[in-house]
């Protein structure tokens, strides 16, 4: 944008210098020419009218360029706003996708941890159940042996006593 303004400023300065130089040259030529007062005033009025006409033309051109520049800036601003809005929408969508992916991964990890925990709990329960059965069996076996000895001892005492 700065380069465009600099170029337009140089062009405007050159144009203004040309107009002022031409007007000055015409004025000097009129004043130096051997003419009557009436002719000189007439020529000066023509020069002034020409300068006014050229000034009006340059003013119209400057207004047109300013309107074109304002329109271009407005378009660029609208394009930039649209681009920013689209980019923002893309970023929001990516954030939502990332959040969904993270949530899915978290749920999967929790499900896997629950499954592993359940397997370990079942293994521990099975081991405890086997240990309990083993202890129960050993206790029953000990009770049976003790009962057999008690029965054997009782029968031995009952026969030897009398």
Q: Is the pLDDT of residue 64 over 70?
A: yes
Q: Is the pLDDT of residue 35 over 80?
A: no
Q: How confident is the model at residue 81 (pLDDT cuts 50, 70, 90)?
A: very high
Q: Which of 50, 55, 42 is nearest to 25 (CA)?
A: 50
How does DSSP classify residue 33?
Answer: S
Directed axis angle between helix 2-32 and helix 37-160, to 10°? 170
For tokens 């020529």, what's the residue? 43
Q: Token pair of 61, please?
A: 């051109």
What is the per-residue pLDDT across 1-29, written as a single tens digit (0 to 9) for each?
Answer: 456 567 767 777 777 788 778 778 877 77
Is the whole-model pTM more than 0.85? no
| Helix intervals (H) in the chain | 2-32, 37-160
CB contact at 8 A, 47 and 26: yes
Kindly state the percentage of the chain with pLDDT values over 90: 30
């Amino acid at each position: 944008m700065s380069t465009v303004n600099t170029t337009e400023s140089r062009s405007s300065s050159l144009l203004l210098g040309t107009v002022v130089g031409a007007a000055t040259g015409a004025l000097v030529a009129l004043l130096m020419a051997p003419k009557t007062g009436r002719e000189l005033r007439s020529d000066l009025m023509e020069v002034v009218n020409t300068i006014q006409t050229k000034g009006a033309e340059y003013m119209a051109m400057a207004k047109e360029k300013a309107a074109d520049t304002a329109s271009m800036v407005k378009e660029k601003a609208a394009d930039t706003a649209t681009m920013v809005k689209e980019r923002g929408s893309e970023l929001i969508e990516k954030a939502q996708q990332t959040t969904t992916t993270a949530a899915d991964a978290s749920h999967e990890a929790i499900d896997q941890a629950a499954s592993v925990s359940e397997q370990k709990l079942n293994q521990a329960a099975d081991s405890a159940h086997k240990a309990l059965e083993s202890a129960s069996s050993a206790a029953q076996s000990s009770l049976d042996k003790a009962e057999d000895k008690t029965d054997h001892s009782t029968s031995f005492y009952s026969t030897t006593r009398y």
